[in-house]
Structure 1
Amino acid sequence: MKILLTCFFLLLSVTASVFGNETMGWRQDGKSIQNEDARKSINGFGAALIITPDLDWDAKWNTPADTSPRFSTVDKLKVGSEATILIFFANPKLNSDGNVNVTCDVKISRPNSKVTENKGLRGFTGKLQGAITNTFLTESVIKFVGEPSDPIGEWIIDVTVHDNYRQISVPLRAKFELTK
């Protein structure tokens, strides 16, 4: 398994899934969306996880704020193929200086019970550009490449996104099947 962690030092915002006030939750096309394993909001802080096979995910993301990017998601991934794990957040708490502090924990569980865990990955710290209710991509982006020696079967991605100023953690889960 080859997993590359990329940190983006410039965070871009988009209004793809705008998170409104404390009680509205995630919204898409102006309508409320229920919490799911891979997209949740807790006490006003929202987080989402996407595993995409889109090689052009970065170009899809880096669009004007009024454009909603559409990412393909992966349920099955063939050995030799790659996918990117994208982590999003919305509506983090600002401190008295107008800064946010978002971090992530990522745990990848393989079909052979081997686990890789990284805690305290960079989400974003500092001032956000745009409204805090916009959807933001974390600085931690994970690229997965299925190697021939990787175990075939279900891979589980558990991500916890932390709004450290609000002291709220949002647990997320997504999975895919690695096939020959």
Structure 2
Amino acid sequence: MKKFVRALATLALLLPLGAGAQNSLMPEGSATKADGDFSASLLITADPNWQQEWEAPKGEVPNFRLADSVAVGGDLYVLAFLSNPKLDEAGMTNVRCDLKVAHPDGTLSSNDHDLPCFVTRLESDPKRVYLSSVGLKFTAEEGDAQGTWTVGMTVHDKNRGVTLPLEATFELR
């Protein structure tokens, strides 16, 4: 599908860990799940300045404006966050994701597996909230199916042996 830009994943990978971690709780209103101490959250925003919000100075809690719809010509950004990934003996995280996007009729426009969501040597507190390196940008184009689109992300903390299925939707009008 042309309108999904996986470059957002590249942007997130370029964020330094210091800017990519917050002490806040998961954003309210997002698709959030937890299993024990590990949690993950999926949210959708129309704010093109989401990255600046995330990189707010230490101590400031990011305030993402959630979006649940988009019109032709508009953009949405799907962001994934996680907290408390288990570290292996070397201090490495190993969080991988499956990502799918479904048209309003249920057919898949994207179905990716085993993407590296958060695979890094972690030098800060694992209990902080981290931005995943997997996300996407949706640009609503003329001719796209109107209705409810579904974004599903299954987050696997391989070190912990925990899987969290997340789902968020938006309406294309």
| TM-score normalised by structure 1 residue count | 0.85
Q: Secondary structure at the match of 2:57?
A: coil
Q: 1:138 — aligned with what?
A: 132
Aligned to 2:65, the other structure's residue is in SS state: coil
| TM-score scaled by length of structure 2 | 0.88
- Describe the superposition over 1:101-154 as per-residue Cα deviations: whole angstroms up to 9, x where unpaired: 111111111113320211112211122242100000011121110111210000
Match of residue 90 from structure 2: 97
- The answer to whether the aligner puts 1:16 opposite 2:24 as a matched pair is yes
Which 4+ stretches in 1 moved above 4 angstroms? none
Paired residues in the alignment total 164
Match in the other structure for 2:166: 172
Matches within 5 A, 1:14-163: 14-17=22-25, 38-115=31-108, 116-163=110-157
SS of 1:69's equivalent in the other structure is coil
Cα deviation digits, residues 79-98 of structure 1 (max 9, x gap) = 11001000000001110111
**Larger relative helix fraction:** 2
Give the 3-state SS of the residue equivalent to 1:98 in structure 2: coil
Contact 2:78 2:137 in 1 (8 A): yes
SS of aligned partner of 1:165: coil
Q: CA deviation at 1:42?
A: 0.5
| Aligned equivalents of 1:55, 1:15: Cα separation in 2 | 23
Match of 1:22 in 2: none
Unmatched runs of 5 consecutive residues or more in structure 1: 18-25
Counterpart contact for 2:30–2:43, Cα < 8 Å: no
Name the SS of the counterpart of 2:59 in structure 1: coil
- Matched-pair contact (CA < 8 Å) for 1:13–1:129: no
CA apart distance, 1:40:
1.1
After superposition, the Cα gap between the structure-2 partners of 1:171 and 1:84, relative to the gap in structure 1 and judged at 3 Å, is same
- Provide the rounded CA distance (Å) in 1 between the counterparts of 2:84 and 2:150: 26
Matched residue, 1:2? 3
Contact 1:14/1:64 (CA < 8 Å) preserved in 2?
no
Gaps of 5+ in 2: none
Identity across the alignment (%)? 32
Q: What is the distance in 2 between the residues matched to 1:113 and 1:141?
A: 20
Q: Which sits farther off after the overlay, 60-69 or 157-166?
A: 60-69
